[in-house]
Amino acid sequence: MGLASLRRFLYFPERLPVDAPLPPHARGAREVWLEAADGVRIHGLYWAPPPGRPVVLFFHGNAGEVYQWALVRHDLAALDSGLLIIDYHGYGKSAGKPSEAALHADGEAALRWLGDEAGVAAERVVLHGKSLGGGVAGRLAATHDVLGLILESTFTSIPGVAENLFGRFLPILGTRSWEKMMPDRFATVEHLAAVRCPVLVVHGERDSLIPVAHAHSLFEAAREPKELYLVPAGDHNDVAWVAGESYGRRLREWLARCLARADRRVAEE
């Protein structure tokens, strides 16, 4: 099986016409265009932060497009922060084709855009990766000094969860065989040792796609300060909904600790 065939099992992009208008639930967003290192134009939505507040850079899962994912703004409203959501290569209005290298380039472009165009330094940015997006956020946090990292419903690596993702399509081969086959690994667990910012791992205990054991492994691999937030009845796509108000409260409390830590570091310099 070729690389293109394997990637069809990993990426499920939906396209948007370039002239598609903002949906009602994305009201107030600014449509932005970024340029990845390979010259591909990437589309995103940006809500500027209230004065003195940070920005959440959100990396979505492997399906859909940014207009659909704009609903996450309501889940994150309790953070009282700015928000940038981007579509990866080949998703929504973005050009190109998705791959691990392309998605990492998208992450770099988004963080660079926040600094250059929005005037938001990396130290005021929280990286939030949902599912596949955790692979993008984790690697980005390992190479940049950001305010914090949230890994929600994400995995240790693609080979580590391949049987759950692809078992109904392909024979169960075992993790080592998948490591040889998969062109895109997104080995988040391997990057966490280099992440120096606070880490919050969020996962549903009933996740039927990515078992909660991945959350425990990610938490163990992360450096302090780190927190593990498990939602007992949460599945893969409904963690915020199942958790209800406690989701926003828990994330806001964690963010307050991130900001206090950042303030202490500034005072000590």
**Which residue is catalytic, options 131, 153, 157, 217?**
131
pLDDT of residue 115: 98
Structural domain range at position 26: 3-268
pLDDT of residue 265: 87
CA distance 269 to 267: 6
Q: Catalytic: 203?
A: no
Q: Catalytic: 236?
A: yes
The backbone region for 90, taken as left when phi is positive above 0, alpha when psi lies in -120 to 50, beta otherwise, is: left
The total of structural domains in the chain comes to 1
pLDDT of residue 1: 41
pLDDT of residue 2: 41
Name 127's bridge partners: 57, 149
pLDDT of residue 3: 44
CA distance 192 to 47: 28
**Which residue is catalytic, options 89, 104, 214, 236?**
236
Mean pLDDT, consecutive 10-residue segments, the chain of 269 residues? 55 95 95 97 98 98 97 97 98 96 97 98 98 97 98 91 58 49 82 97 96 97 98 97 97 98 88
For the chain, first and last CA: distance in Å?
A: 54
Q: Catalytic: 207?
A: yes
- The residues near 176 (Cβ < 8 Å, ≥ 6 apart) are 159
CATH for 74: 3.40.50.1820
Note the pLDDT tens digit of each residue in 52-88. 999 999 999 999 999 999 999 999 999 999 999 999 9
**Which residue is catalytic, options 94, 207, 214, 217?**
207
Beta strand pairing call for 63-64 and 55-59: unpaired
- φ and ψ at 64, to 5 degrees? 90, -160
> If you ran DSSP here, which 8-state letter would residue 45 be given?
E
Compute CA distances 125 → 28, 98, 122, 144, whole Å: 20, 24, 5, 10
Count how many residues are written for the chain. 269
